[in-house]
Structure 1
Amino acid sequence: MKLVVFGAHGGTGLHLTRQALELGHGVVAVTRRPGEFPVVHPRLTVTGGDVYEVEDVAAAVEGADAVLSALGVPFTRRPVTVYSRGTANIVAAMERHGVKRIVVISSVSTDPHPHGEAGFLMNKVIQPLVTATIGRTTYADMRRMEADLRATTLDWTVVRPAGLYDADRVTAYRLEEDRTDGFRTSRADLAASVLAQLDTTQWVHRNVAVTTSDGAPSLLQLMFGEALPRR
């Protein structure tokens, strides 16, 4: 398949790009810094583009079989629009070029809830604090993105990871609709779960939460290693 990856230069986007190439796909990696992209491969095209620019997005999407979005920005108290506006431009480009399949990365924190595996500190202190303060604008924009996708006629899937951390390889992970008891997701497993959506229709028009179930760090390790998770 020919895949277009938005947010390709981010932590998860790089995993997506590398894993897609390993699976034999052709990849168009969209980044604002094409000269700095660290992956080189015969089936990889690195293209400069800004997701806010309609024509940049349309040019990248043309001829694609599917689109994968790993868009993300650091937490900020200022308004965030990259998820909703960026995805709106991607949707418009897909409709323009007749591309139907899209998988986007969101977060389980768009639907805050107690995580059965997390305990008091995560459920009663950390999650409420983050979602109400530094993560508030990020998660609000993710919710706008999810709502906008539901209103389209595309074959969309929203993948919702929990707290993100880095791992060298894909391990065991589990998928659950909408929300999960788990609170940790490796970026490698997140990328693998996104790519797995291309081989199934099970989660089309649905939200799927993904969490790592093998070798995930403890809550303290996650806090110290990933104080501000990237996406």
Structure 2
Amino acid sequence: MKTLVIGASGATGLHLVQQLLEAGQAVKIIVRSTAGIPAAWQTHEHIEIITASIAEMHPEQMVELLKDCQSVASCLGHRPSFKGIYGKPRRLVRDAVQLICECIQSNAPASPVKFVLMNTSGNANRDLNEPNPLKNRIVIGLLRVLIPPHPDNEQAADYLRVTIGQDNPYIQWVAVRPDGLINEDEVTDYELFPSPVRNPIFNPGKTSRINVANCMARLIAEPELWDTWKGQMPLVYNKEA
């Protein structure tokens, strides 16, 4: 299996690519600069590095990149800086998801391509009747106005949920929703739930980035796990001792 990973130089993307490589999978990555990736990747036989900005890629380029990929994983996000949060492109993730999905459909693959999107626990799955107290709605409304990456994440997941839907012949998807992200060095036990089991705004849990990456890698590699969660937006929490 070959996977295209976008956002590969980010804190979660680095873990994801490394875990895919360790599992013997072939990987393509799109990065703006190779400076932020491990030097060993430069000569790794199972990785192809495309140095480019996905926000500036032409559809023809993406169509070619996807022709031999059976899966796509997005760990793409906005840089944690004023320019990254408030500068352009405001819809970086949504636009990348749309571009990739449109190009997959242009290729009309014989078997559906898996698309795994890293999303956020602050984004509700509107296909389900998830609890949404008034105080949460107020905070989320403020986030939509004040923090552009939040509506970007919402719209990226909604593109998969609504536009691609459940019966697309060329794309199947899962949007992984971690809770409060933390850094850990090793994969630990974690749990998946179809909806939040904690209040994501006022009582968030913890999810390590390496566990998010492990979950995404397993979804790509394990058919049974994929069949369990395809078309859904599972919450990922570190398992509490």
Short-chain TM bin: 0.7 to 0.9
2:239 maps to what in 1?
Answer: 213
Higher mean alpha-carbon deviation, 143-152 vs 175-184, is at 175-184
Match among 138, 154, 174 for residue 143 of structure 1: 154
Equivalent position SS for 1:211: strand
| 1:155/1:205 contact within 8 Å kept | yes
Residue 144 of structure 1, CA deviation? 1.0
Q: Give the direction of change, closer, same or farther, for the CA distance of 1:214–1:46 in structure 2 (3 Å limit).
A: farther
1:204 maps to what in 2?
Answer: 230
1:4 maps to what in 2?
Answer: 4
Equivalent position SS for 1:87: helix
Higher mean alpha-carbon deviation, 59-68 vs 101-110, is at 59-68
| 1:176/1:209 contact within 8 Å kept | yes
1:193 maps to what in 2?
Answer: 215
2:116 maps to what in 1?
Answer: 103
- The question of 1:24 aligning with 2:24 is answered yes
Equivalent position SS for 1:201: helix
Match among 168, 182, 192 for residue 175 of structure 1: 192
Residue 214 of structure 1, CA deviation? 4.8
Q: Distance in 2 between matches of 1:78 and 1:110?
A: 22
Q: Distance in 1 between matches of 2:138 and 2:206?
A: 16
Q: Give the direction of change, closer, same or farther, for the CA distance of 1:5–1:131 in structure 2 (3 Å limit).
A: farther
For residues 80-91 of structure 1, what are the structure 2 equivalents within 5 Å? 80-91=90-101
Unaligned runs of 5+ in 2: 199-203
Equivalent position SS for 1:24: coil
Q: Deviations over 1:142-184 (max 9, x none)?
A: 1111111122122011100111111101000000013232521
Q: Aligned residues: percent identity?
A: 23
Q: Distance in 2 between matches of 1:47 and 1:32?
A: 8
Q: Distance in 1 between matches of 2:15 and 2:140?
A: 26
2:47 maps to what in 1?
Answer: 44
Equivalent position SS for 2:79: coil
Q: Give the direction of change, closer, same or farther, for the CA distance of 1:165–1:90 in structure 2 (3 Å limit).
A: same
Normalised by the length of structure 2, the TM-score is 0.76
Q: Give the direction of change, closer, same or farther, for the CA distance of 1:96–1:34 in structure 2 (3 Å limit).
A: farther
